[in-house]
Structure formats: structure tokens, C-alpha cells
Amino acid sequence: MEKIKTVIIGMGRMGKTRYEAMKRHGGFEITAICDTAAHNMDGYKEKKYERWQECIDETEPKAVIVCTYNAAIPEIVCYALEKGIAVFSEKPPGRNLEDALKMKEAYERAEDPVLKFGFNHRYHNSVMEARALIDSKILGEVICARGVYGKAGSPNFETEWRNDTSISGGGIMLDQGIHMLDLMYYFLGEFTEIQSSVDQLVWKDMPTEDSAFSILRTGDGKVASLHSSAIQWRHKFSLDLICTKGFISLNGLLTSTKSYGEERISYYRKDLEQKTGGLGKPMEHTMCFNEDQSWDYEMEEFYEAVRGKKAVVQGKIEDAVNLMKMLDNIYSV
Ligand SMILES: NC(=O)c1ccc[n+]([C@@H]2O[C@H](COP(=O)([O-])OP(=O)(O)OC[C@H]3O[C@@H](n4cnc5c(N)ncnc54)[C@H](O)[C@@H]3O)[C@@H](O)[C@H]2O)c1
């Protein structure tokens, strides 16, 4: 198996998660890791750096994995692209649309660039099943969606970097809601009309929102509602996809904390003649999953892109820019 010489910048929770996924994959040779907080690299045998530029310049990797705070993402991504290095970066693609556009410009200037953003929810088994169902057309066209993605903040929520606007760029909608927005965009298309309520409902002195409701409409009239919440005291992931001839319901999501419940997808065919059940209670088809393979599927796609065997399909720069455009719109209420 060809080994890709790789460095990871940012060894917090996600850096470590990506490290493990690359080790499981076997096609990456992690030559160095980097974090401004040296203690986050304790226990690792790879060469350690505290300055990302030095790490890239000295080790000359073929790929770089960026898992820093949002504010540092654009500079590192642009620098690596300019050096002809393949980049896998965590979401969000920077703090705002301007950051995303900077990376798009660097991408367009680079020769044969590889750039992929970590919108890993597209690789959850329930989401992949939903995609296959929609593509099969057996439920007709997806026409509207309802999504709730909520977590319970944290004990020091107000002081986390995630809620320091200069570092993060936004609150729960940018941090977690972006995954739900990405899924809605994936299934329904780009939303061009957006109405939102972005609020501090519990953490009133925080610079960022702890709740954001949005009503979104695509150019061809598909509609979605999204609630992104840090005040969902019992964690929740729920996405309903309503189609012309049926209905898909995704509930729960496998994560490391297991706090979003079992991951399941159910679908139902429209049955007004009541051939399969009572009115409004058609036959249910359900699949449950007990293993989260999203990190592995995602790394495999990146690996094949770096080797030049396949193009990046999920998490492309065009999608990153579109998402940040929609988020700018959500925040501009
Ligand atoms: N794909 C997903 O599902 C997912 C999930 C959680 C977080 N994320 C994203 O991953 C990124 C990191 O989040 P996290 O939860 O791991 O946060 P974290 O706080 O656990 O880790 C971030 C790490 O980056 C380091 N760092 C910050 N700036 C740096 C710089 N300039 N150079 C080197 N190191 C730097 C910090 O010291 C810290 O160790 C964020 O952009 C976040 O939005 C993605």
C-alpha cells in the first residue's frame, strides 16, 4: 500500500480522532504532529512541533490534516495549497465567507490541488442509506425537510474558544448546525432565501448564539426548517425528509459520546389506499447501525484523492463556499 507522508496540525479532540482513523487506514505515514499547546501531543512518538509553518517546511509532507481552531484554518490551508500539498481540513471552512473565499482563491491558483473539508456527517450510515433511497426515486422527489441538531452546551460553554467570535466566527449554528445545514444542502440543494432567528436564550452574555432557527428555501421551491441548539439538554439529532411519494426519518447519530442515541433510518411509502397499514401509518422499513465508520470512509476518499485515483466528492471547496454563503445569510438577520 502506498504510504502518504502526512502531518497533523492541531492535536485536540479532532486531531486525535483523525490520527486514529489514519492509523486504521494504514495508507498514511504520520511523520509529525503540531499543536500550540505542547501537552496535547503527550504520549505520541511522532516528531512534535508547536509552530505549524515550521512543521510543514521542515517535514515537507505530501498531505496535511488541519484540525486547529477555525481562525487558523484559512492561513494553514492556503499555505499548504501554495506548496502543492494535499489538504484535508476540518469544518467549518474558516470563520466566515471571506475566509472560505480566500481558500477558494488559493485552490484555484494551485496546480492539481487536492482539498477536502471534513463534513463527516455525509458518511454516516443512515445518511448514506437516505442518499441511496433518494437516488433510487422510489419515494419520488424530496421536497422539504425538518432538522433538529442540539447539544447541551458544556460546563464552561461561555468561555470555550467555540464561543469566542474572533476565533470561531459564530456559535452553535456554525459549530454543529453546519452539519445539519450541509445535509439539507446535500439532499435539497442550495438555499437562496433564508429567514432566521439567532438568539442567546440561556447564555445571555455570550457573544455567540445558543439557539438558531432557520427557514430555508431553494431556488426551485424546496423548503426546510432547521433548529441548531446548544440548549437541547438531552442531545438530539433528527432529520425528516419528505418526498412526493414517501417519507424518510433519520433519528439518533452514532458519535464517540453515544449521547445522540442509536442511529436509525426509517422510511415509509405514501399509501393513501391503505394497502400496507392504516391511514397515516403505512408499513415501516427501519435500519439501525451500531458502528460509526464515517471517519474511515472519509479518510479513504481523501487517500484516493491524494493518490490521484479519484476526485474529491464530498467536502469540496465549492460546497464549503456555498455553505458559508448560506451561513452568512443566516447570521445576517
Ligand atoms: N468533523 C466533525 O464532526 C468535527 C467535530 C468536532 C470539531 N470539529 C472541528 O475540528 C476543529 C478542532 O476542533 P476540536 O474539537 O478538536 O477542538 P480542540 O480544542 O479539542 O482542539 C483544537 C486544537 O488545535 C490547537 N491549535 C489551535 N490553533 C493552533 C495553531 N495555530 N497551530 C497548531 N495548533 C493549534 C489547540 O491547541 C487544540 O489542541 C474545529 O474547527 C472544529 O470545528 C469537527
**pLDDT over 90 (residue 76):** yes
Ligand 1 and 251: CB distance under 6 A: no
Ligand 1 and 44: CB distance under 6 A: no
> How many Å lie between the centroid of ligand 1 and the Cα of residue 143?
35
> How many Å lie between the centroid of ligand 1 and the Cα of residue 274?
51
**pLDDT over 90 (residue 101):** yes
Mean pLDDT of 55-77: 98
Percent share of the chain, pLDDT over 90:
98
What gap in Å lies between CA 117 and CA 90, rounded to an integer?
6
- Listed in sequence order, the DSSP H helices in the chain are 13-25, 52-59, 73-82, 97-109, 125-136, 165-168, 172, 178-188, 294-306, 317-331
Mean pLDDT score of the chain: 97
Mean pLDDT of 166-195: 98
pTM over 0.75: yes
125-253+255-290 CATH fold: Dihydrodipicolinate Reductase; domain 2 (3.30.360)
**pLDDT over 90 (residue 253):** yes
* Confidence at 54, pLDDT banded by 50, 70, 90: very high
Residue appearing with cell numbers 444542502: 185
Residues paired with 212 in a beta bridge: 198, 228
pLDDT digits (tens, 9 = 90+) for 141-168: 999 999 999 999 999 999 999 999 999 9
Ligand 1 and 91: CB distance under 6 A: yes
The full set of domain ranges for the chain reads: 4-119+296-311, 125-253+255-290
Q: Please give the pLDDT value at position 333.
A: 78
What gap in Å lies between CA 320 and CA 318, rounded to an integer?
5
Is residue 167 within 8 A of residue 94, CB to CB? The reply is no
Going by C-alpha positions, the residue among 230, 232, 236, 228 that lies closest to residue 252 is 236
CATH of domain 4-119+296-311: 3.40.50.720
Q: Please give the pLDDT value at position 211.
A: 98
Pocket probe mutation, ligand 1, options 90, 168, 299, max atoms within 8 Å of Cβ: 90
- What CA dihedral angle connects 289, 235, 132 and 308, to 10 degrees? -90
**pLDDT over 90 (residue 229):** yes
Mean pLDDT of 261-281: 95
> How many Å lie between the centroid of ligand 1 and the Cα of residue 235?
21
**pLDDT over 90 (residue 44):** yes
